Structure formats: structure tokens, C-alpha cells
């Protein structure tokens, strides 16, 4: 076999291996008939549904800081994770003038979290303090490309409400956390 033919086969082999690695690393999560993630995979965080969990390794952000994130590692909620989507919206329900869009999204998320975790008036203050020390609310959104300051959320696009485990990874869903 000539050197040119050997070189061609080597290049084709390397290309095939790279394609296989790409598809192995960037596979979508698999869902069962109910829509629950049963096998992990990479996905745009805004394509996740309420009840989906994902693993994210990141540095702690300061108040008001943002992180650009195009994919996350979605996993079954029974696997180690530190984030759970508890609400997802197609857009901001109503836009109030005089208040920034991020604050409005956050308020809409706060309106959903209490039902999701099973909050009731009968909870002890200790239970609430422990939950608040273990978890924090985050919002995932698209930036508004119509504005001069492109660091503002776009109220016309989808956004998700996330409960983030502050320090630890968990292997359970926080849905009905207080009902357990």
C-alpha cells in the first residue's frame, strides 16, 4: 500500500473517532413515557422541564453576576445533582414598567416555589431556615438582543426557575420536600 493511501485511511480513522467522541459527549438526555429523564445527557438549560434535574460544576457567583451557559448535564433526579427546575415559562406573564425584568422573573419564580416544595403554614421555623440555608433560587434566561445593554433578560423568551443546592449534591427531588 502506498504512503498516500495509508495517510488517507489514517485521516479517515481519526475523523471517525472524533465524530464518535463528539456524539458520545453531546448526547441528549433520554426520557421515559412520562417525560422523566432516565438517562443523562447534555441539553440547553432552557429546554428542561419542571421536575428535571441537572449537574453543574461552577464557581459561586456573587449577587448580580451572570454566567453564560449553553448546555448542562441533565440527569435523573435520583442521580447526584445540584440543580432542579421547579418551573418553566414560555415568557414573562406580564411586564410591569418601572421594575426590571429580572426582578419580575424572580418574583414569578418565588410564586411557584412554595407549591413545588410543599410549603404549608404548619411548618416550623427551623425547617424553613434549614431549607433556606441548603438551597437558593436561580433563574435561567436569554439575554435581550434588542437592547443596547445586552445583559438584560428578554421578557419575550422562555425562562426557568431553578432550586440550587448551595453546598452539596443531592440524589432526590425537592418536589414536595416539606411533605416528606
pTM value is 0.77
Domain limits at 168?
30-179
Instruction: Say what the pLDDT of residue 99 is.
Output: 81
Residue 116 has pLDDT above 70, yes or no: yes
Most confident of 40-44, 152-156, 159-163: 159-163
- Which one is predicted more confidently, 132 or 93? 132
* The three three-digit cell numbers of residue 70, written as one number: 449553553
The verdict on residue 8 lying in a domain is no
- Which one is predicted more confidently, 55 or 25? 55
Residue 58 has pLDDT above 60, yes or no: no
Name the least confident of 42-46, 56-60, 111-115, 145-149.
56-60
Residue 55 has pLDDT above 60, yes or no: yes
Of 41, 38, 42, 60, the closest CA to residue 51 belongs to 38
Q: Name, in order, each residue with C-beta under 8 angstroms of 121's C-beta and a sequence gap of 6 or more.
A: none
Measure the CA–CA gap between 116 and 122, rounded to whole angstroms: 16
Model confidence at 9, pLDDT cuts 50, 70, 90, reads confident
The verdict on residue 19 lying in a domain is no
Question: What one-character-per-residue DSSP string does 68-102 give?
Answer: --S-EEEE-TTSSBSEEEEEEESS-S---TTS-HH
CB 43 within 8 A of CB 28: yes
Q: Within 13 Å of residue 113, how many CA atoms lie on the same side as its CB?
A: 21
The verdict on residue 12 lying in a domain is no
Instruction: Say what the pLDDT of residue 67 is.
Output: 63
Q: How many domains does the chain have?
A: 1
- Which one is predicted more confidently, 34 or 17? 34
- The alpha-helical segments, DSSP class H, found in 26-177 are 101-117, 125-134
The verdict on residue 123 lying in a domain is yes
The verdict on residue 85 lying in a domain is yes
Instruction: Say what the pLDDT of residue 144 is.
Output: 84
The verdict on residue 95 lying in a domain is yes
The verdict on residue 92 lying in a domain is yes
The verdict on residue 109 lying in a domain is yes
Q: How many helices (H) and strands (E) does the chain have?
A: 3, 8
CB 131 within 8 A of CB 81: no
Instruction: Say what the pLDDT of residue 98 is.
Output: 77
Average pLDDT, the chain: 85
Instruction: Say what the pLDDT of residue 149 is.
Output: 65
Residue 64 has pLDDT above 60, yes or no: no
**For the chain, what percent of residues have pLDDT higher than 90?**
44
Amino acid at each position: 500500500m502506498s504512503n498516500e493511501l495509508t495517510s488517507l485511511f489514517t485521516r479517515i480513522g481519526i475523523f471517525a473517532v472524533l465524530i464518535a467522541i463528539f456524539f458520545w459527549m453531546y448526547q441528549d438526555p433520554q426520557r421515559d413515557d412520562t417525560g422523566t429523564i432516565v438517562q443523562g445527557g447534555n441539553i440547553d438549560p432552557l429546554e428542561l422541564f419542571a421536575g428535571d434535574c441537572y449537574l453543574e460544576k461552577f464557581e459561586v457567583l456573587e449577587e448580580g453576576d451572570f454566567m453564560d451557559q449553553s448546555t448542562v448535564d441533565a440527569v435523573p433526579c435520583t442521580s447526584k445533582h445540584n440543580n432542579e427546575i421547579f418551573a418553566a415559562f414560555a415568557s414573562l406573564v406580564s411586564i410591569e414598567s418601572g421594575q426590571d425584568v429580572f426582578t419580575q422573573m424572580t418574583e414569578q419564580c418565588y410564586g411557584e416555589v412554595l407549591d413545588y416544595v410543599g410549603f404549608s403554614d404548619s411548618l416550623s421555623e427551623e425547617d424553613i431556615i434549614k431549607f433556606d440555608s441548603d438551597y437558593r433560587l436561580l433563574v435561567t434566561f436569554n439575554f435581550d438582543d434588542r437592547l443596547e445593554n445586552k445583559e438584560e433578560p428578554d421578557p419575550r423568551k422562555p425562562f426557568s426557575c431553578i432550586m440550587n443546592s448551595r453546598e452539596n449534591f443531592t440524589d432526590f427531588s425537592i418536589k414536595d420536600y416539606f411533605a416528606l
